Structure 1
Amino acid sequence: MQAYFNALTTKFRGRPSTTLPIILNKELSQAFPQMKLKTTKDLQNLQSLAQDIGIWKSLTGRITEFARASSSDEFDAGSR
């Protein structure tokens, strides 16, 4: 993950790539609007949160809830 963020020196035009950090950033910012995963510093902040098992379980649980809710919303919209 650190190598990914260190390599982000140029911006590309066109369709945004779908990478794990981009998806994680989207889900993290939906569950916690004040949090993001766009830089090495953001990654380090998440790593420090992961040191506390209670905080980490709460964080991952909430992200999972948002991901499930958004996927079921997309499924419901597609079946109409």
Structure 2
Amino acid sequence: MQCYFFSDNKRARGRPQTTLPITLNNDLKKLVATKLELITQTDLDTLRLIAEDRPKWNALIAEIRKTAEAARSDDPASGRL
């Protein structure tokens, strides 16, 4: 199992891995309204509590989706295939 909260400070060659926790952390950082990040075990527990409350989780997902769509519409390269 890979640990997402600690690193040995060695950089691997090539493109960095894109995993679900890394993607989720990047999405959470982009949200202005919340101060959520996925760095420590406490952050993961907080996110788990939000996920258990369905209205809060749906609101968080809607905010992430809105932020991603706004970023995509601002990116001129997003129209290319």
Unmatched 5+ residue regions in structure 1?
none
* Cα distance in 2 between the residues matched to 1:54 and 1:73: 29
The residue number in structure 1 matching 2:28 is 28
TM-score normalised per structure 1 = 0.72
Instruction: Determine if contact 2:5/2:40 at 8 Å carries over to the other structure.
Output: no
For residue 42 of structure 1, what is the aligned residue in structure 2? 43
2:28 touches 2:64 (CA, 8 Å); kept in 1?
yes
Would the alpha carbon gap of residues 11 and 69 (structure 1) be closer, same or farther in structure 2, given more than 3 Å must change?
Answer: same
Identity %: 33
Q: Deviations over 1:43-76 (max 9, x none)?
A: 11100111211111111110011111112222xx
| Matched length | 75
CA RMSD between the two structures: 2.4
Q: RCO greater where, 1 or 2, for CA within 8 Å and sep 6 or more?
A: 1
